[in-house]
Amino acid sequence: MANFSRVIDKVRNSEYRKASEQDKAVYKGAKYLLLKNRKNVRRKNHRQQLKELLALNEVINTVMILKEKLKHIWTYRSRTWAAKAIDQWCALARSLNHPSVTSFAKMLERYRDGILNHCDYPIHTGKIEGVNNKIKVIKRKAYGFHDLRYFTLKIYQAFSN
């Protein structure tokens, strides 16, 4: 999603440059409105600005639809349905004919197998990264270990509870 957030920002910038002086006022301050989840836009004036922007620009509206569909792909537990959703997403992205969106669609197809593997094994890497970080901290606190056995024992001690 972080990569697609960059795509959304690039699309917003390119559409801002194409907009008339009168319409540019709607684009002002809209970056984070577009990056937020739609349900998290709470202020009435922000919701109104987002609504105006989406009504004003079809490309940005389509990109926002793509954002929601991309989030939904991660919820599938069936590999077949997820594959169909990715195919539909990429087709819609290509129909937009915007270079940033098209390159993201190509990237999504390159990582298709990994995304589909998430359906079979919905494991997140957060815990693994946390363990690796803790091990690095243990190593850093000791200024390196000369005895591998002692280092292993310190790791076991850190994760014993």
3-state secondary structure of 81: helix
Phi, psi of 143 (to 5 degrees): 55, 35
Look at residue 81 in the predicted model and tell me its pLDDT. Answer: 96
- Residue 135's contacts (CB-CB under 8 Å, 6 or more residues apart) are 155, 158
Beta carbons of 33 and 96 less than 8 angstroms apart: no
**Tens digit of each residue's pLDDT, the chain (161 residues):** 789 999 999 999 999 898 888 888 888 888 888 888 888 888 888 888 889 888 998 999 999 999 999 999 999 999 999 999 999 999 999 999 999 999 999 999 999 999 999 998 888 888 889 999 999 998 888 887 788 898 899 999 999 87
Look at residue 139 in the predicted model and tell me its pLDDT. Answer: 87
Sorted by where each begins, the domain ranges of the chain are 2-120, 126-158
Look at residue 2 in the predicted model and tell me its pLDDT. Answer: 83
Look at residue 79 in the predicted model and tell me its pLDDT. Answer: 95
Euclidean distance between CA atoms 7 and 47, whole angstroms: 21
What DSSP string runs through 91-154?
HHHHHHT-HHHHHHHHHHHHTHHHHHHHHH----SHHHHHHHHHHHHHHHHTT--S-HHHHHHH
Euclidean distance between CA atoms 30 and 135, whole angstroms: 41
- Residue 142's contacts (CB-CB under 8 Å, 6 or more residues apart) are 151, 154
Look at residue 156 in the predicted model and tell me its pLDDT. Answer: 93
Look at residue 46 in the predicted model and tell me its pLDDT. Answer: 87
Apex 63 CA angle, 61 and 66, nearest 5: 115
